[in-house]
Amino acid sequence: MLIRKAKKEDMKSIHKLDRESTEYHKKFDKDFYTISERWWNIKKYSQLKAIKSPTNLVLVAELEGKVVGYIWGYVETIMKNKMGKIQELIVTSKQRGKGIGTELIKDMLNFFKDRKCVISEIEVFVENLSTIQVYEKAGFRKRVCKMQLKLNKENA
């Protein structure tokens, strides 16, 4: 396996992983069905911008010349101390459980440490137990509970 910085030419593979991940996450939140094409276009633009940014890092994992995973993180400086935020971590379903995500996380955490971040953060669905285990194995701990309410006539 090879982990390297993403290039503009990787965008098609990254986008394919994003689509696969959205399908996977539908079982945790049926509202994922509501993602619009406009949202996908904004995300692609943001990822391309991140690939070129010195405060962002997008890495891909390659196996036999094929992109099988990626991680996207950035340094946030709005707090007193710098925070490394992992925006996205996706490994194709066929390659999960083989340590690819763990290696991507390690490389991202090193990027954050090199930039003097004192904490790293990532969001995950509470029902996504296998992914939570990967993050906990990397040293992450549950700290905040983000709650959502789908608005409708009954709760207005």
Short-list 107, 121, 110, 24, CA closest to 71: 107
Strands ordered across the beta sheet of 56-63:
2-5, 56-63, 66-76, 83-91, 119-122
Q: Which domain holds residue 74?
A: 2-155
Please tell me the predicted confidence (pLDDT) of residue 33: 58
Give the residue from 69, 59, 44, 56 showing the smallest Cα distance to 134.
69
pLDDT tens-digit series, residues 105-142:
999 999 999 999 999 999 998 888 999 999 999 999 99
Q: Which of 73, 72, 68, 97 lies closest to 2, judged by CA?
A: 68
Q: What is the pLDDT of residue 51?
A: 94
- Residue 7: give its domain's CATH number: 3.40.630.30
C-alpha angle with apex 55: 130 to 84, nearest 5 degrees? 40
Q: What is the pLDDT of residues 17-32, one digit of tens each?
A: 998 988 887 777 776 5
What total of structural domains would you count in the chain?
1
**Residue 144: per-residue pLDDT:** 87
